[in-house]
Amino acid sequence: MRDLMFASFMVLALPLAFMRPLNAYLLWGWTGMLIPTSYFYGFMADARLNFFFALITLSLIVLGKVKITNYQNNRVTWFYLLFIAHCTLSFAFGYSNNPLNAQYFEVVVKLMIFVLVMPLFVRERQHFHAVFIIIALGLGLHGVMDGLKTIASAGGHNMAGVPGSMMNDRNHLSTALVLSLPVSYYLALYSRARVVRFGFWMLLITTAIAVLGGGSRGGFLAISVLGIWFIVTSRHKVLAISLGLSAVLAFSMLAPERWTDRISTVQEAQSDKSFIGRVIAWRVSTAIALENPVFGGGFHAVQTYPVWETFKASPGLLGFLDLPVPEFAPKAAHSIYFELLGDLGFVGLSIFLTFISYALWNRWKICKQIGTSNPQLLWARDMADMLFLAIISFLVGGSAVSLAYFEVIYMFVMLMELLRIHVEQSIPKRQQPKARND
């Protein structure tokens, strides 16, 4: 029944996709984040919906239904083209006999295609709003499912990942869900219909409960940092503090003893075998990078047995730590920074950190341009703040998970750039800072 209902919905959505390329693009993004086939068990379980809507979108572009001349030239596009060129070389020169190399290179190519065509579609306020909606209804619905289970079980629910996706365990899923919280908050503030605003408030609350009850230390750190930054930067201080106190209250009521025991091990990292295993994986990743400083070892080479065996005793950049030579099987990097370092070398990590830093700078520039003299653009300032909070949360939560190629963070960086362009074009020339004539 579930498969049939969703298939019927997709049939109804098809005419909308062909009628308007933006609709096809939004469905492409939504199916990529929701991964609806992970919830099916019948004839829809193998349906390649994301590929199908990607094909429709790209076909409409090729057929001229979207004017290429409408493409908004921007710096992030050039950063991304440089990044994908570097990824291609890292893939080509990576260690052999690594099936993950081709798998993750394909992931990067697909996500880059999606974000690189975004400047064709996202130009006006309603376009930004629509992209936020697909993120909330994509990532957020995973949070609703786990949040409701956590409430129904009084905190006893064990979060699992989303099969067949980068959110395939609870740590990855928790970090990903934190990124959706600022998006849901923005939509709860700016949606016109009261019932829609209420829906996004419920989405935010249940997703936060899912993260707090999920038992992921990375997710807990990410949502804690998000809450602190949210209170500090928000223009709605009373609301921000109220939400923060509500989250603390809900956490104290729902969190079972096993969860608090697990989180308390954050303070006991030196005696935590799981943490020591991660540090060893970080050490191996740095050793790979030192051996291959420009292009790295290829995607997830650290998880390849021959590579792990070669470098497991190498000191790398963490030789000052007293760590044993591991006897266990290869481990994932468990950190976006060490993941990128081992995969793409120092150059790849530098490119990534450059466009992330540029996105944070864009937020500062947007806020400076809008100031207090453009109340009609306060929505853009609030959106920039929410994008900023999501990126900061990713940088914190990502320190404990291998989620460097998660599509949403690349979307946020591009959205911040397009938002800056929109603000610059919306502010009358007389209000923009004048160039100095030295």
CB 137 within 8 A of CB 30: yes
pLDDT bucket at 433, cuts 50 / 70 / 90 = low
Which residue, among 212, 198, 199, 266, has the nearest Cα to 244 in the 3D structure? 212
Read off the pLDDT of each residue in 233-258 and give the average, rounded to a whole number: 68
Q: What value does the CA radius of gyration of the chain take, rounded to a whole number of Å? A: 22
User: What are the pLDDT digits (tens) for 288-337?
Assistant: 999 999 999 999 999 999 999 999 999 999 888 888 888 878 989 999 99
Backbone angles phi, psi at 403, to 5 degrees: -130, 30
> What does each C-alpha distance from 170 to 107, 210, 234 come to in angstroms?
20, 10, 29
How far does Cα 109 stand from its chain's mean position? 16
Domain boundaries, the chain: 1-70
Which residue, among 11, 3, 124, has the nearest Cα to 423 in the 3D structure? 124
Which stretch, 228-232, 318-322, 345-349, has highest mean pLDDT?
345-349
Residue 61 identity: I
Instruction: Calculate what percentage of the chain has a pLDDT beyond 90.
Output: 58
Query: Is residue 209 scored above 70 in pLDDT?
Result: yes
Which stretch, 10-19, 41-50, 360-369, has highest mean pLDDT?
360-369
Instruction: Calculate what percentage of the chain has a pLDDT beyond 70.
Output: 89
